[in-house]
């Protein structure tokens, strides 16, 4: 076992900088030895601020650096294929933020290279590292709720991301961008999903019609075990960030999540009020740290990845099936999502004039 992992970070957008700060300061057995971002000057300024010895504009140069044992890929999803395949061929251990891709064909190509090169690829789904989600998993395994028969996973954002990101050709759309977390959570607690049925619409932000995404969706799931479930997705939780799960069993149930950010109640004539978790970083900062720490530990100790590429593809297929269901207004069997026919997410139906009346 090596005592410390030399790691390179590719992508210094908002999430990349969070991973960079964690890797610089809070993961004792990692050393952030290089950063790369194609935006001119960004890698250098980040490196100087955080004491990272090397920086690159080209991720290829970082991948060719022999001092780098492992990489964290926090680039836009559209670049994951190229970066991960290159990294696998360069012999690096790879941590890749979700989603693996919005194209099933691309994702399967990535898996093939990862498997043929025997690279270690660990995917990022940070809810699995949140104290609440972990405790629920443990309670289920201890038998606290008997046999799990129903799951509800909720994801609600406080506002709409930038429209160009909402474009399904970029992010895959609401169901893929947000729902993929819920589908990963669903698989963690309940096993494989067999069929999905989604309904949704442009209900809160009419400007979304210009890019063809929806802002609310409700998705039914039937698991291969026969159990059932649902994922509820919204972009209009205007009070804050609403992430919850309920797992119902034959002997009890579990509820994961919380809303209050600051431990203070205000009691006055307007009622009794507390604040809310503002957004995902306030909610999941510790989970992001635990997740990258787990990756580092897995590499150093020769353990398999905690979340594999196959997990990422499974969640991707559910996302594609659910998006297809939304567009075709019918239940979709996840097994029907194969490269040839449903290799990417449908994007047409919800496009329209942004000034359409609601």
Query: Within positions 236 to 255, which residues make up the interface with a second copy, using CB under 8 A?
Result: 236-240, 248-255
User: 118 or 251, CB closer to a second copy?
Assistant: 251
Q: Rounded to whole angstroms, how far apart are CA atoms 48 and 36?
A: 13
- The answer to whether the beta carbons of residues 34 and 67 sit under 8 Å apart is yes
Q: Does 276 bind a second copy (CB under 8 A)?
A: yes
Could you say which of 256, 307, 332, 345 contacts a second copy (CB under 8 A)? 256
In angstroms, the CA 79 to CA 96 distance is 11
The H or E element that residue 324 is part of is: helix 309-328
Nearest Cα residue to 168 out of 14, 351, 354:
351
Instruction: Check residue 260 for interaction with a second copy (CB under 8 A).
Output: yes
Site pattern 14..53 for a second copy (x: CB under 8 A): -----------xx-x-------------------------
> Residues touching a second copy: how many (CB under 8 A)?
76
CB of 163 to a second copy, least distance (A): 17
Q: Which of 207, 224, 329, 336 binds a second copy (CB under 8 A)?
A: 329
Residue with Cβ nearer a second copy (10 or 27): 27
Long-range contacts of 332-340 (CB under 8 A, 24+ apart): 332/195, 332/196, 332/197, 333/194, 333/195, 334/192, 334/193, 334/194, 334/195, 334/196, 335/194, 337/104, 338/104, 339/104, 339/105, 339/108
- Work out which of 139, 169, 310, 351 binds a second copy, going by CB under 8 A: 139
Residue 6 burial (CB count, 10 A): 17
In the complex, minimum distance from the CB of residue 53 to a second copy, in angstroms, rounded to a whole number:
16
**DSSP code at position 276:** -
- Identify residues 197-216 at the interface with a second copy (CB under 8 A): 197-201, 203-204, 216
Select 65 or 157, whichever has its Cβ closest to a second copy: 157
- Binding of a second copy at residue 141 (CB under 8 A)? no
Task: Report if residue 6 touches a second copy, rule: CB under 8 A.
Answer: no
CB of 289 to a second copy, least distance (A): 11
Order across the sheet with 93-97: list the strands: 54-56, 30-36, 5-10, 70-73, 93-97, 121-124
């Amino acid at each position: 076992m090596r005592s410390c992992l030399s790691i390179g970070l590719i992508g210094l957008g908002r999430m990349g900088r969070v991973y960079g700060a964690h890797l610089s300061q809070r993961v004792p057995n990692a050393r952030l030895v290089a950063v790369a971002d194609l935006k001119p000057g960004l890698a250098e300024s980040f490196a100087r601020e955080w004491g990272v010895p090397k920086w690159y504009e080209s991720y290829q140069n970082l991948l060719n650096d022999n001092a780098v044992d492992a990489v964290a890929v926090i680039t836009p999803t559209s670049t994951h294929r190229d970066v991960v395949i290159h990294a696998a061929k360069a012999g690096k251990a790879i941590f890749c933020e979700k989603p693996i891709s919005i194209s099933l064909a691309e994702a399967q190509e990535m898996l093939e290279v990862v498997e043929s090169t025997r690279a270690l690829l660990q995917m990022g789904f940070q809810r699995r590292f949140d104290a609440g989600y972990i405790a629920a998993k443990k309670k289920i395994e201890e038998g606290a709720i008997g046999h799990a028969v129903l799951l509800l996973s909720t994801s609600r954002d406080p506002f709409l991301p930038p429209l160009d990101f909402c474009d399904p050709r970029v992010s895959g759309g609401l169901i893929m961008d947000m729902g993929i977390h819920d589908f990963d959570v669903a698989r963690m607690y309940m096993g494989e999903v067999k069929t999905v049925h989604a309904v949704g619409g442009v209900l809160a932000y009419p400007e979304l019609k210009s890019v063809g995404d929806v802002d609310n969706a409700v998705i039914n799931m039937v698991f291969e075990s026969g159990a059932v479930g649902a994922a509820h997705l919204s972009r209009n939780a205007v009070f804050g960030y609403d992430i919850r799960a309920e797992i119902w069993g034959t002997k009890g149930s579990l509820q994961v999540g919380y809303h209050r950010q600051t431990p203070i109640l205000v009691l006055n004539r307007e009622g009794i009020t507390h604040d809310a978790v503002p957004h995902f970083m306030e909610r999941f900062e510790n989970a992001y740290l635990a997740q990258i720490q787990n990756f580092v530990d897995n590499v150093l100790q020769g353990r398999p990845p905690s979340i594999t590429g196959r997990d990422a593809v499974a969640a991707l297929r559910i996302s594609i099936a659910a998006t297809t269901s939304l567009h075709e207004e019918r239940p979709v069997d996840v097994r029907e999502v194969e490269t040839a026919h449903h290799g990417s997410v449908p994007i047409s139906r919800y496009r329209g004039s942004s000034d359409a009346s609601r």
